[in-house]
């Protein structure tokens, strides 16, 4: 029986796992895709889990003091999750974000009580396409704010609370809901936290499950490829960073690259065929799963994460 929760924070996690049978039928592939609907978290993304994991880790260790300001760089999703948790837990929150990210993300964080600092992109960068170089400018700004305000840095690229939230939550939830009937898992990487946590959890339960990292075409640094196109429209990841801490010793069976066009079309197909209104990276995951089902994973079952909501991309070309 459902119970009354003490706060919206207690609603994070436990998202549904849904078969995408209409989508696979329309795509003409043999096999199944199981979609973990992380966009149904209160901040409309999977990053709510990581944000909660990082703050709870800091509280347990004493790294954060009551009422201390929290600062983090964000493409919008981690910042939204942190804004929610900080509002409930009583921490002022400052989000530092590139101007290349969609404007609705900044508006949402502001509405949730965050102070939002927007950082200019590199000269020549395209709005809506945030590169690793753009993110480096955001990192510099975030460090400056931390120093100025004596703040706690949430640091989603290094705090273990990020990947552990998916190791203890998302991964086991996929396993339990599917009764272990998963053959592969694909994930478009940003910090690598979701991939590392879910892959480790699934592999511990069945080492035969194959796990694939997904990156943008032309920016597949984790796969060891030369970065030729660091700018791409798949916001929230694909930063062409070859040394992501969470991927150290994480199990990887292969690497897949998807184009912005593939991600866009898969996102739109997901909405039309399944009524699932996901964002760009959700489409990247679905596109990667479809490619596997057209190849050596034909007839098998692939798990994906629907990372965030399409509502965060209404000002972009995703829906135009």
Strand partners, 257: 215
Known catalytic residue: 281? yes
**Of 36, 46, 47, 312, which is the active-site residue?**
47
Calculate the dihedral angle through the C-alpha atoms of 211, 248, 75, 90, rounding to the nearest 10 degrees: 110
End-to-end CA distance of the chain: 42
Phi, psi angles (nearest 5°) of residue 228: -110, -25
Asked whether 318 and 49 are in contact (CB, 8 A), the reply is no
Asked whether 186 and 174 are in contact (CB, 8 A), the reply is no
Sheet holding 93-98, edge to edge: 115-119, 93-98, 70-74, 152-153
| CA dist., res. 278 & res. 281, Å (int) | 8
* Other beta carbons within 10 Å of 248: 9
Calculate the dihedral angle through the C-alpha atoms of 284, 285, 290, 294, rounding to the nearest 10 degrees: 100
| CA dist., res. 92 & res. 71, Å (int) | 9
Known catalytic residue: 47? yes
Query: And the tokens for 306?
Result: 């629907």
**Of 98, 281, 282, 309, which is the active-site residue?**
281
| CA dist., res. 127 & res. 297, Å (int) | 36
Residues belonging to the active site = 47, 281
């Amino acid at each position: 029986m459902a119970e009354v929760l003490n706060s919206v924070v207690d609603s994070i996690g436990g998202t549904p796992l849904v078969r995408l049978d209409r989508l696979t039928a329309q795509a003409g592939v043999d096999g199944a895709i199981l979609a973990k609907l992380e966009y149904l978290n209160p901040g409309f993304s999977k990053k709510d889990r990581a944000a909660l994991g990082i703050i709870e880790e800091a509280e347990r260790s004493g790294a954060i003091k009551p009422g201390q300001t929290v600062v983090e760089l964000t493409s919008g999703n981690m910042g939204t999750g942190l804004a929610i948790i900080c509002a409930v837990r009583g921490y002022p929150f400052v989000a530092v974000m590139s101007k290349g990210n969609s404007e609705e993300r900044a508006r949402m964080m502001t509405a949730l009580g965050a102070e939002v600092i927007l950082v200019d992109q590199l000269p020549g960068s395209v709005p809506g396409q945030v590169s690793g170089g753009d993110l480096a400018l955001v990192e510099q700004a975030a460090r400056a704010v931390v120093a100025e305000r004596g703040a706690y840095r949430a640091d989603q690229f290094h705090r273990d609370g990020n990947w552990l939230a998916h190791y203890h939550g998302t991964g086991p939830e996929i396993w339990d809901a599917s009764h272990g009937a998963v053959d592969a898992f694909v994930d478009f990487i940003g910090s690598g936290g979701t991939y590392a946590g879910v892959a480790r959890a699934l592999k511990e339960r069945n080492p035969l499950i194959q796990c694939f990292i997904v990156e943008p075409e032309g920016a597949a640094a984790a796969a060891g490829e030369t970065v030729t196109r660091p700018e791409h429209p798949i916001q929230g990841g694909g930063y062409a960073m070859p040394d992501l801490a969470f991927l150290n010793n994480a199990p990887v069976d292969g690497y897949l690259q998807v184009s912005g066009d593939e991600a866009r079309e898969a996102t739109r197909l997901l909405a039309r065929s399944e009524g699932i209104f996901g964002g760009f990276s959700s489409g990247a995951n679905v596109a990667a799963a479809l490619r596997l089902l057209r190849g050596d994973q034909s007839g098998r079952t692939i798990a994906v994460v629907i990372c965030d909501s399409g509502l965060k991309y209404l000002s972009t070309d995703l829906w135009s």
